[in-house]
């Protein structure tokens, strides 16, 4: 004999389970892409939504900014220097429908796209550009990623190159180059100073040539400086003594 009480209990439990499974709660930063019999129906959320069991399925999508590390890539620069570069990408889903329908596993797709784009963009620049123009390279990579992911309903907000690692030989070569550049600048500065001093000396000689008395006074100043040395004997030229005496009379 069929136990109707037991059967009703099982049916009630099944209905409660189906009802519990049909109720979905989406957070403020979540959206639910609803498919009905396999076809896209609508995007719902946030809050409490009802999904009809067996007829509808839901795919949750996070709308917050996602921070993705790009694995270290081996890059050969335009001047044939091998470096290891890694980066971080900041992006968010702005169209949940396209992010689910247009691409399979958009997180994996963006990761692969970021890796290939990083190698492609950096490979077109010299090592000096990688080290000195990082902001420009970040912007170039971000623009390319944003343009290509637009069809997936994804906005790439920013890209930052974190590290550009060089091998020991290249580090020593860069240090030697920097030292040579510092020495070159020091020599240029010294030569410029010598040139300016020579110009000033020529101007001073011209001025002294116009005033013979000034020349004699300059002789006296020089002799005064010599007298400050340890030497005890100073020989004065006879014509200098006559000129000085004439200047003082």
Divide the 249 residues of the chain into consecutive groups of 10 and give the mean pLDDT of each group: 68 76 90 94 91 91 95 89 92 96 94 95 89 91 95 95 79 64 79 81 68 61 62 57 55
Per-residue confidence (pLDDT) for residue 91, from 0 to 100 = 97
What is residue 26's predicted lDDT score, i.e. its pLDDT?
A: 93
- Is pTM beyond 0.85 here? no
CATH numbers and ranges of domains, the chain: 4-62 (no CATH), 66-166 (3.30.479.30), 214-249 (no CATH)
- CA separation for the pair 14, 16 (Å, rounded): 5
Sheet of 39-44, strand order: 39-44, 30-36, 56-62
C-alpha dist (Å) from residue 81 to 41, 181, 186, 216: 52, 20, 29, 66
Residue 94 DSSP class: S
């Amino acid at each position: 004999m069929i136990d109707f009480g037991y059967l009703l209990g099982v049916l009630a439990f099944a209905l409660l389970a189906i009802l519990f499974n049909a109720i979905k709660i989406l957070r403020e930063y979540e959206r639910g892409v609803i498919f009905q019999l396999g076809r896209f129906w609508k995007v719902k959320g946030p809050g409490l939504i009802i999904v009809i069991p067996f007829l509808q399925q839901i795919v949750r999508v996070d709308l917050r900014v996602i921070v993705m590390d790009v694995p270290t890539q081996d890059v050969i620069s335009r001047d044939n220097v091998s470096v290891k570069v890694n980066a971080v990408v900041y992006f968010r889903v702005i169209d949940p429908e396209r992010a689910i329908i247009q691409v399979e596993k958009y997180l994996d797709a963006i990761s692969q796209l970021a890796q290939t784009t990083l190698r492609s963009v950096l490979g077109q620049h010299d090592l000096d550009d990688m080290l000195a123009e990082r902001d420009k390279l970040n912007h170039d990579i971000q623009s390319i990623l944003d343009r290509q992911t637009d069809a997936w309903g994804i906005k790439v907000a920013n890209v930052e190159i974190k590290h550009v690692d060089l091998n020991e030989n290249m580090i020593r070569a860069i240090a030697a180059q920097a030292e040579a550049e510092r020495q070159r600048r020091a020599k240029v500065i010294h030569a410029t100073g010598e040139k300016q001093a020579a110009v000033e000396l020529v101007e001073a000689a011209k001025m002294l040539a116009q005033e013979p008395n000034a020349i004699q006074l300059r002789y006296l100043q020089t002799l005064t400086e010599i007298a400050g040395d340890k030497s005890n004997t100073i020989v004065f030229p006879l014509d200098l003594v006559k000129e000085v005496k004439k200047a003082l009379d």
